[in-house]
Amino acid sequence: MVTIKQVAELAGVSFKTVARVVNKEPGVKASNVEKVEDAIAKLGYRPNKAASLIRKKQSDIIGFISDEISTTPASVAILKGAQDMAWEQGKTLMVFNLDLKHPNKDKLYEECLQHRSEGIIYGAMYHQSVEFSELFKTLPTVLVNCVSAQNDFTSIVPDDELAGYYVTKQLLYKGYRRIAFLNLNPEIMAAQQRQQGFLKAMQEYGIPEEQWHIDTIEKVVEGRTVNIAGEVAKQVIQEFKPDAVLCGKDLAAIKVYLVLERLGLTIGKDIGVASFDNWHDIPEILEPQLSTMALPYYEMGRMAVAQVLGLITNKNKAHQPTHYKVPCLLFDRESF
Amino acid sequence: MVTIKQVAELAGVSFKTVARVVNKEPGVKASNVEKVEDAIAKLGYRPNKAASLIRKKQSDIIGFISDEISTTPASVAILKGAQDMAWEQGKTLMVFNLDLKHPNKDKLYEECLQHRSEGIIYGAMYHQSVEFSELFKTLPTVLVNCVSAQNDFTSIVPDDELAGYYVTKQLLYKGYRRIAFLNLNPEIMAAQQRQQGFLKAMQEYGIPEEQWHIDTIEKVVEGRTVNIAGEVAKQVIQEFKPDAVLCGKDLAAIKVYLVLERLGLTIGKDIGVASFDNWHDIPEILEPQLSTMALPYYEMGRMAVAQVLGLITNKNKAHQPTHYKVPCLLFDRESF
DNA sequence: CACAAGAATGACAACGTTGTAAAAATGATT
DNA sequence: AATCATTTTTACAACGTTGTCATTCTTGTG
C-alpha cells in the first residue's frame, strides 16, 4: 500500500505537509495543496486508519454484538438503524453475531476490545432479559431489545405494555367487545408486558372477564419454541367466538386469516384482526391489509448508537443507567 | 488502555518477552510465562489490533458491502453465512449498507480501503446485474447474489434456472399437468432464469403450450415494485383453472393459499402449490406446509468469504473470474 | 573450572500516522 | 536594506505493536 511518505516524495514536500492536506488542516499554500492532491490521485493513496488510531487513540469503531439477531427479519432493522446512525456520526460499526455454535458473548466482547472499539451495543432477537458478565462493564455499553437481569446497563426496548394497551383500546374504541388475545410464549418479556397492557385497557373499559380470552400460540418443547398458532386459532375462534382477534405476531395473523377465510368470515367486517410486528411486506400482502403495531426496531437501532456515543463522551462522569421504552406505532390498515 | 510495556513493567520483564507470551511464541521460561500471564490478567491487557496491523501489514478484515441486503429477511442469511465463515477463518467482517439515501458504492469501498480490508464482498438483495466502477478492481472482490454487467468479477449466485427446472419437473413427476407460474417481476434476473428452467422442463415433458400459463405478480410503477399477487392469483386460478400453482416467492404463496381457502379447495389434494424462497418460518406456518425451493443464501455467504480468501492468497497470480451457480434445495413438504 | 552450545531475554528499529516545536520563507514596515 | 510579524514548512518524537539481532543466562561437556 502507498504511504504518506511516498506521496510526499512525489509531491516534493515533507510528509507532514501531505498530512495537512489529507486532514484538511489550514496553512498550506494553494500551489502545494494542488501538488499534493495530484500526487495522491496519481498514487491512489488512502490514509491508514489503523496508524491514525494508534496515534490519535480514537478508533471511531462501535462494536455491535447480536444474539442471532441478523437472521431474524424483523429485528434486522435494529442493525440497519444502528448502521445508519453510526455512518451519519462518522463511526464504523463492527458487527458480530452470536449463534448456537458460539454462544460466548465475552469472546466477541474481547474481539471488540482488541479493535479498540469505543463502545458496544448488544442487541437481542426478541425483547428479553439477559445475563452479562463483568466484562461488559469495560466499555460504554448499551442494550437494545433486551434488558440486563440486574438492570445495570442502559437499555432500549419497545414499550410493549403501552403497545398492548393502545391496540386494545383501539379495538374497544371501534366497538369490539369480545376479544381473543393469542399471545406469544409467556416466557418472553414482550408477551408479559403486552398482556398487562391488554388487561389494563380491558379494566378501564370495564369489560367483564368472560368477555375476553387469552391463549398462547407458542409452546416450548425441550427448549425449542413450537408454533401452535394454527390449532389454537381454529379452536379459539370456533369455541370462544370472539368478535376480534389480537395476534402476538404477524405470522400468527396469517394463520388467523386462513382460518377465517375457510370459515367464510369477512375480516374487518364480521371480525376484527390486529397484530404486532408490522413485519416486512406481510401486513400489506394480506387482504384486507393487516392493522398491526409496528415495533420501532429501526428507531431503536438509531437510538442505541446515539446513546452509546453519549456514554462515550461522558465516559468519566458518573451516570445511572437509563431504561428507554420506545413507543410503538399502530399501522392502521383495514383489518379492524 | 493498558499497553504491552505496562504489562512488562509489572511482570518485571522486557516488553518483548510479553509479546512472546501474548503471541504464544516459544522460548520463554515457564516461570516468566506465569508472571506475564498474571500481569496481563491483573491489568486486563488486550493486544491492540491496529498496532499489530501496521507492523504486520495484515488486517484480517474483510469488507462486506451490501445493497440494502440487511433489511431483507431472506438474504440476511448471506450475511450470517459470511460472518460465520469469516469467524472460523480468523477474519473479521466489516459490514456496510448501501441504502436509498447513500447509494454510493465507491464511498463504502473507500472506507474499506482505509481500514486496510484485505478483500471485499459485495452482496445484493436479489439476483441481479450490477455496474461497478474501476475502483472495485483495487482489492480481491467477490460478488454474491449478483453479477457484474461486464462479468469481470468472481460471482456467486443461486442457480435459478436449475431451481425453476427442478421444481417444475417435480410437479410434473407428481402428475400435475396444468401449471400456472406466477413469476416475479420479469426484469429480475432470477425471474428470467427460473422461467427458462420452467420452460425447459415443460418441453422435456412435451406439455403443449395451452397447458401452462405464465403471469407476473409484480408490476413496476414509477420505479417502485408493486405487488399484485392477490388479483393475479384470483384471476388466474379462476380463469385458467390450473391443477398446480408455482409462486415466485413464499409471500405470494400466502396470497394463493388465501384465495384457495376462500374457494374451498384443498391444497395438496385438489391443487398443488409450490414456491421459491423457503422464507424464514413462512412455509412452516402455512397449512399444509409449503413445499418451496430454498435459496441457498447462507451457503452463498460462506462461499463468498471462502472465495475472497482464495483470491487474497493468490493475489499475484493472474486469474479468470469464476461464476458460481449454487444449486437450490427443494424443501418437500405437503403443498404438492 | 573453563568453555561451548543452546535457550532465554533484551535493545532497538520499523510500521504509518499525528502532534509539537523549531526553522524557514514570505510580506509588511521602517 | 534591515527588522519584525506572520505564514508556511520541516524535523522529529510518539503511538503500541512486530521483527531482527545482539546479549545474557543456563546447562552440559571435557
- Helix/strand/coil (H/E/C) assignment for every residue in A7-69: HHHHHCCCHHHHHHHHCCCCCCCHHHHHHHHHHHHHHCCCCCHHHHHHHHCCCCEEEEEEECH
Q: Looking at residue A222, what is its pLDDT?
A: 80
Pair A169, A225 in one domain: yes
Q: Closest residue of A to B70, CA-based? A: A76
* Residue B54 belongs to some domain of the structure: no
SS3 A228: coil
Chain B window 106-165: which residues touch A at a Cβ cutoff of 8 Å?
A: 110-111, 113-116, 138
Average pLDDT over residues B48-70: 91
Checking each nucleotide's C1' against the CA of B17, the nearest proves to be: C9
The whole domain housing B313 covers 61-157+298-326
Contact by Cβ (8 Å): A325, A147: no
Please give the residue that has the higher pLDDT: either A315 or B84: B84
Q: Distance (Å, rounded) from C-alpha B181 to C-alpha B214?
A: 5
Which CATH number characterizes residue A260's domain?
Answer: 3.40.50.2300
Beta-carbon separation of B258 and A262 below 8 A: no
The pLDDT value recorded for residue A72 is 62
Residues A81 and A137 in one domain: yes
Is the Cβ pair A50, B115 closer than 8 Å?
A: yes
- Cβ-contact A18, A43 below 8 angstroms: no
Cell of B286: 402455512
Do A150 and A164 belong to one domain? Answer: no
Cα–Cα distance measured from residue A4 to residue A43, given in angstroms and rounded to the nearest whole number:
10
Cβ–Cβ < 8 Å for A226, A220: yes
Predicted local confidence at residue A74, as pLDDT: 64
The alpha-helical segments, DSSP class H, found in A115-249 are 160-173, 189-204, 229-240
Q: How far apart are CA B77 and CA B68, in angstroms?
A: 13
Interface of A with B in 266-305 (CB under 8 A): 280-282, 284-287
Which nucleotide lies nearest residue A26, CA to C1'? D8
Arithmetic mean of pLDDT, B181-194: 94
The answer to whether the Cβ–Cβ distance between A50 and B46 falls below 8 Å is no
Q: Is the pLDDT of residue B223 over 90?
A: no
User: At residue A311, what is the residue type?
Assistant: L
Provide the 3-class DSSP secondary structure of residue A200.
helix
Are residue A194 and residue A133 in the same domain, yes or no? no
DSSP B233-245: HHHHHHHH--SEE
**Interatomic CA distance for residues B40 and B44, integer angstroms:** 6
- Same domain (yes/no): B203, B268: yes
* B165/B288 same-domain check: yes
Q: Which residues of A touch B258 (CB under 8 A)?
A: 257-258, 261, 286-287
Task: Choose from B261, B278, B286, B305 for mutation: most chain A CBs within 10 A.
Answer: B261
Residue A168 lies in a domain: yes
Q: Are residues A82 and A109 in the same domain?
A: yes
What are the pLDDT digits (tens) for B293-320?
Answer: 999 999 999 999 999 999 999 988 888 9
Q: Is residue B332 situated within a structural domain?
A: no
Please confirm whether the linkage preceding A296 is cis (ω < 30° from 0): no
Residues B71 and B183 placed together within one structural domain of the fold: no
**Does residue B215 lie in a domain region?**
yes
Q: In the Cβ-directed half-sphere of A86, how many Cα atoms lie within 13 Å?
A: 31
- Cβ distance of B50 and A46 shorter than 8 Å: no
The answer to whether A251 contacts B73, with C-beta atoms less than 8 Å apart, is no
In a domain, B278, yes or no: yes
Contact A280 B113 (CB under 8 A): no
Please answer yes or no on whether B97 and A116 come within 8 Å at the CB atom.
Answer: no
Q: Which amino acid is at B127?
A: H
Same domain for B174 and B248: yes
- Taking alpha carbons only, the member of A315, A157, A261, A323 closest to residue B230 is A261
pLDDT score for B317: 84
Is residue A134 within 8 A of residue B68, CB to CB? The reply is no
Q: Which of 243-262 (A) contact B at CB < 8 A?
A: 251-252, 254-255, 257-258, 261-262
The b-or-e profile of A1-28 (16+ CB within 10 A means b, else e) is eeebeebbebbebeeebbbbbbeeeeeb
> Does B55 map to a domain?
no
Q: How many domains does chain A have?
A: 3
CB-based contact, B49 to chain A, within 8 Å: yes
Q: How far is A200 from chain B (nearest CA, A)?
A: 31
Q: What local confidence, expressed as pLDDT, does residue B71 receive?
A: 55
User: Is strand D less than 7 A from the beta carbon of A5?
Assistant: no
Strand C bases, protein C-beta under 7 A: 7-12, 14-20
Spans of chain A, pLDDT less than 70: 69-74, 102
Residues from chain A that touch B76, judged by Cβ atoms under 8 A, are 70-71, 73, 76
Chain centroid to CA A219: how far?
24
- Nearest CA to A75 among A278, A315, A293? A278
Contact A281 B251 (CB under 8 A): yes
CATH of the domain at B17: 1.10.260.40
Q: Is B234 on the interface with A (CB under 8 A)?
A: no
Please say whether the beta carbons of B229 and B217 come within 8 A. Answer: yes
Burial B58-85 (b: 16+ CB within 10 A, else e): ebbbbbbbbbbbbbbbbbbbbbbbbbbb
Tell me the C-alpha distance between A128 and B114, whole Å.
37
Are A290 and A164 contained in the same domain?
yes
Contacts of B102 in chain A (CB under 8 A): 87
Same-domain status, A289 and A304: no
Does residue B326 sit at the A interface (CB-CB below 8 Å)? no
Please, are residues A60 and A92 in contact by the beta-carbon 8 Å criterion?
yes
> Stretch B35-62: mean pLDDT, rounded?
96
Separation of A27 CA and D2 C1' (Å): 27
A54 touches chain B (CB under 8 A): yes
Residue A244 dihedral angles phi and psi, to the nearest 5°: -150, 145
A133/A234 same-domain check: no
The Å distance, CA of B24 to C1' of D20, is 18
Provide the pLDDT for residue A71.
55
Taking CA–CA distances from A101, the nearest residue in chain B reads B84
pLDDT at A230: 84
Contact A54 B59 (CB under 8 A): no
Q: Is A112 part of any domain?
A: yes
B255 CB-contact burial (10 Å; exposed 0-12 / middle 13-18 / buried 19+):
buried
CB neighbour list of residue A79: distance below 8 Å, 6 or more residues apart: A64, A66, A69, A70, A95, A123, A301, B70
Q: Do the Cβ atoms of A117 and A95 come closer than 8 Å?
A: no
Q: Reduce the DSSP state of residue A128 to 3 states and report it.
A: strand
Q: What is the structure's pLDDT at A69?
A: 57
Residue A121 maps to a domain: yes
